[in-house]
């Protein structure tokens, strides 16, 4: 919710443009820094074209606009290190703890240095820097305090990645109504059409640095170089593909089968609540699909907190049932509640029973 509020304040000129975000308050001796970028997805470029042509050969696909926001914590050591670093492939990002520092740094920039994944001239980038900044409150960044963050602070990292978000901005198309089922105004179609195993890319109408496809596919190497981030690159691309596959299947079939529910549930069960920012970035696409399916009354989620499985939507159903899901979660919940209410009576009884059982074994010479 807060990221959307920030998004509303971002004033971009065009695709490829970006804005530096600052915060006046510090977080545990770190400064909060953000970078927001504007990207496009060209609906005329990908496999979606084939689907659209099936619906109507005269369809005009159009362009989708997305904004991305990356948040990080930085400190003085980082600023010293990054300003000194002139390595060609090392991205100079999150420069300046504060807006004032950032504007001063502008003077020291050379003309030729490029940012790794935007391939844009630095001088050009900083030309608008006074206008291209935004000041936010610390609370707006929604900092998640988990073991990843605690370990990063404890090991005294000079830059810590906090979050990466994509925010859907708008679609420009004269015939959008004709294909909105296949391209809902969400983020998850990106993974379906660009990263699933069936993705057939023909990206050539725009420059790389303008395309959201390049942002997602090069995100790993950007994070690896900039944040010294220990993560498996193959795992990142595998996650994009796996989530892309379930998203594409929904967009193509628009049907909830048992097999499809199984793949949703097995993906959900692999996730932990204590994930690092890159895993959270990938998972957000999945949970966006899930929310979409819930809102469209296609699926529901079992309310037993130890389960949380998805099942086909039924008006009054709250838990998995023996008949359809092979487990009776309502019963497990009521047993658990009964135990919670009566545990003081149940425990001594159980102990007494065990004592009697042991005595009985002893009496009959059974070794246990």
Confirm or reject binding of residue 302 to Zn ion (CB under 5 A).
Answer: yes
Q: Identify which of residues 285 and 311 has a Cβ nearer to Zn ion in the complex.
A: 311
Distance separating alpha carbons of residues 232 and 214, to the nearest angstrom: 19
Closest CA to 171 of 156, 184, 155, 190: 184
Closest CA to 218 of 237, 232, 199: 237
Least Å from the CB of residue 247 to Zn ion: 24
Choosing from 307, 312, 313, 321, the residue that interacts with Zn ion (CB under 5 A) is 307
CA dihedral 354, 359, 361, 367 (to 10 degrees): 90
Distance separating alpha carbons of residues 256 and 42, to the nearest angstrom: 29
Q: Identify which of residues 194 and 304 has a Cβ nearer to Zn ion in the complex.
A: 304
Q: Identify which of residues 240 and 320 has a Cβ nearer to Zn ion in the complex.
A: 320
Confirm or reject binding of residue 72 to Zn ion (CB under 5 A).
Answer: no
Least Å from the CB of residue 263 to Zn ion: 17
Least Å from the CB of residue 306 to Zn ion: 8
Q: Identify which of residues 60 and 307 has a Cβ nearer to Zn ion in the complex.
A: 307
Least Å from the CB of residue 314 to Zn ion: 13
Choose one: 101-109, 216-224, 239-247, 316-324; the region binding Zn ion (CB under 5 A).
316-324
Q: Identify which of residues 191 and 264 has a Cβ nearer to Zn ion in the complex.
A: 264
Question: Degrees (nearest 5) of the Cα angle 203, 209, 212?
Answer: 65
The contacts of residue 27 (CB under 8 Å, 6+ apart) are 73, 138, 143
Confirm or reject binding of residue 149 to Zn ion (CB under 5 A).
Answer: no
**How many residues bind to Zn ion according to rule CB under 5 A?**
6
Least Å from the CB of residue 320 to Zn ion: 3
Least Å from the CB of residue 308 to Zn ion: 7
Task: Give 57-97 as a 3 state SS string.
Answer: CCCCCCEEEEEEEEEEEECHHHHHHHHHCCCCCCCCCCCCC
Least Å from the CB of residue 270 to Zn ion: 17
Distance separating alpha carbons of residues 5 and 14, to the nearest angstrom: 20
Q: Are 227 and 72 in contact (CB under 8 A)?
A: yes
Across the chain, which distance is largest between two alpha carbons, in Å?
Answer: 92
Q: Identify which of residues 186 and 317 has a Cβ nearer to Zn ion in the complex.
A: 317
Choosing from 36, 63, 149, 329, the residue that interacts with Zn ion (CB under 5 A) is 329
Confirm or reject binding of residue 330 to Zn ion (CB under 5 A).
Answer: no
Distance separating alpha carbons of residues 91 and 94, to the nearest angstrom: 9
Distance separating alpha carbons of residues 13 and 34, to the nearest angstrom: 18
Least Å from the CB of residue 341 to Zn ion: 21
Residue bearing tokens 């549930």: 265
Choosing from 21, 141, 320, 333, the residue that interacts with Zn ion (CB under 5 A) is 320
Closest CA to 72 of 106, 114, 30: 30
Q: Identify which of residues 251 and 302 has a Cβ nearer to Zn ion in the complex.
A: 302
Instruction: Write out the residues near Zn ion by the rule CB under 5 A.
Output: 302, 304, 307, 309, 320, 329
């Amino acid at each position: 919710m807060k990221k959307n509020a920030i998004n509303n304040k971002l004033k971009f000129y065009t695709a490829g443009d970006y804005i530096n975000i600052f915060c006046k308050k510090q977080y545990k001796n770190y400064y909060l820094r953000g970078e927001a970028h504007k990207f496009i997805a060209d609906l005329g470029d990908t496999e979606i074209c084939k689907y659209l042509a099936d619906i109507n050969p005269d369809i005009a696909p159009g362009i989708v606009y997305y904004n991305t926001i990356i948040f990080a914590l930085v400190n003085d050591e980082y600023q010293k290190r990054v300003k000194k670093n002139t390595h060609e492939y090392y991205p100079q990002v999150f420069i300046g703890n504060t807006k004032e520092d950032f504007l001063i740094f502008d003077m020291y920039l050379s003309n030729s240095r490029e940012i790794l994944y935007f391939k844009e001239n630095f001088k050009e980038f900083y030309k608008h820097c006074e206008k291209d900044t935004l000041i936010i409150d610390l609370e707006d960044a929604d900092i998640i305090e988990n073991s990843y963050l605690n370990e990063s602070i404890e090991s005294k990292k000079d830059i810590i990645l906090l979050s990466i978000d994509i925010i859907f901005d708008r679609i420009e198309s004269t015939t959008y109504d004709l294909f909105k089922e296949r391209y809902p105004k969400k983020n998850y179609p990106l993974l379906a059409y660009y990263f699933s195993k069936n993705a057939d890319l023909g990206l050539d109408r725009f420059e790389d640095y303008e395309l959201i496809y390049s942002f997602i596919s090069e995100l790993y190497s950007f994070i690896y170089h900039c944040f010294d981030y220990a993560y498996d690159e193959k795992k990142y691309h595998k996650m994009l593909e796996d989530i892309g596959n379930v998203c594409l299947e929904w967009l193509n079939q628009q049907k909830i089968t048992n097999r499809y529910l199984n793949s949703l549930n097995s993906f959900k069960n692999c996730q932990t609540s204590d994930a690092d920012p890159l895993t959270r970035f990938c998972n957000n696409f999945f949970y966006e699909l899930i929310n979409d399916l819930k809102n469209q009354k296609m699926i529901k989620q079992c309310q037993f907190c130890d389960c949380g499985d998805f099942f086909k939507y039924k008006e009054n159903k709250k838990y998995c049932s023996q008949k359809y899901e092979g487990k009776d979660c309502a019963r497990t919940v009521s047993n658990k509640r009964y135990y919670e209410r009566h545990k003081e009576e149940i425990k001594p009884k159980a102990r007494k029973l065990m004592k009697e059982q042991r005595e009985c074994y002893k009496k009959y010479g059974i070794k246990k």
